[in-house]
């Protein structure tokens, strides 16, 4: 989660944006673009205590990491045959707590808080969309020896680490937070461990791990 503190009534690019600005000033003409990886169960710093003083500190750490990454980059020429974009559509397993009749009843209950009714509406939309046969694309950008996976939802970091282990011979990165209908996406074991991220903010169930791991393996097996 690239957020230091929030809920102040304004929109802010936070420490990630501050770090990007720092590096773009140091590298005129270079656009620094941020893609959030599998950060569903990762906070800013070891613990995110929400202190405002930490925003510039976190920005400085990210900017330093960006600087070191820039200085250590290894460039290599690539041809057209080494560039590709592959997609594997997947059917996401809806968690068994989402029941259409229950969600419709919440929508119709004017005594409930508006936030509860809105959540029921979002849950119902995802449930119906998935039941209709809709599949979510899992994609991979191939650039020579580099692979950039693009996955849905607010993924747990275990997915990104697993992808890197699948192809230790390649540079494997990940951009998550794609199709956000899923909400958070935990690992199979995490759904039995409790916690906020695998509670009502996740619309998928434990089988999601097998689905996404299989899609990643299929995409990363490309030579």
d(CA 40, CA 38): 6
Query: Which residues in the chain land under pLDDT 50?
Result: none
Residues 88-104: pLDDT tens digits? 999 999 999 999 999 99
Q: Find the distance separating the first CA and the last CA of the chain, reported in whole Å.
A: 32
Enumerate the domain spans of the chain.
14-71, 80-220
Residues 6-45: pLDDT tens digits? 888 989 999 999 999 999 999 999 999 999 999 999 988 7
d(CA 116, CA 109): 10
193 CB burial (10 A radius; 0-12, 13-18, 19+): exposed
d(CA 61, CA 4): 13
d(CA 194, CA 141): 34
d(CA 140, CA 126): 24
d(CA 155, CA 3): 16
Give start and end residues of each alpha helix (H) in the chain.
14-26, 54-71, 100-108, 114-131, 157-166, 208-220
**In the prediction, which pLDDT does 131 show?**
97
pTM exceeds 0.85, yes or no: yes
Look up residue 16 and give its DSSP letter.
H
Look up residue 133 and give its DSSP letter.
T
């Amino acid at each position: 989660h690239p957020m230091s503190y929030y809920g102040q009534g304004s929109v802010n690019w936070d420490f990630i944006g501050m770090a990007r600005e720092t590096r773009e000033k140091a590298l005129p003409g270079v656009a620094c673009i941020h893609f959030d990886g599998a950060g569903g169960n990762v906070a800013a710093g070891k613990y995110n205590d929400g202190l405002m003083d930490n925003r510039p500190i976190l920005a400085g750490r990210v900017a330093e990491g960006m600087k070191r990454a820039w200085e250590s980059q290894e460039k290599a020429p690539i041809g057209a045959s080494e560039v590709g974009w592959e997609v594997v559509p997947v059917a996401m397993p809806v968690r068994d707590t989402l029941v259409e009749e229950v969600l419709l009843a919440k929508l119709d209950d004017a005594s409930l808080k508006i936030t509860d009714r809105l959540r029921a509406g979002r849950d119902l939309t995802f449930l119906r969309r998935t039941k209709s046969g809709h599949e979510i694309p899992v994609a991979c950008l191939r650039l020579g020896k580099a692979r950039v996976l693009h996955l849905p939802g607010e993924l747990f970091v275990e997915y990104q680490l697993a992808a890197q282990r699948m192809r230790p011979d390649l540079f494997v990165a990940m951009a998550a937070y794609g199709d956000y209908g899923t909400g958070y996406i935990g690992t199979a074991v995490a759904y039995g461990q409790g916690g906020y991220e695998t509670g009502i903010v996740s619309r998928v169930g434990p089988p999601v791990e097998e689905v996404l791991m299989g899609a990643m393996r299929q995409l990363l097996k490309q030579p």
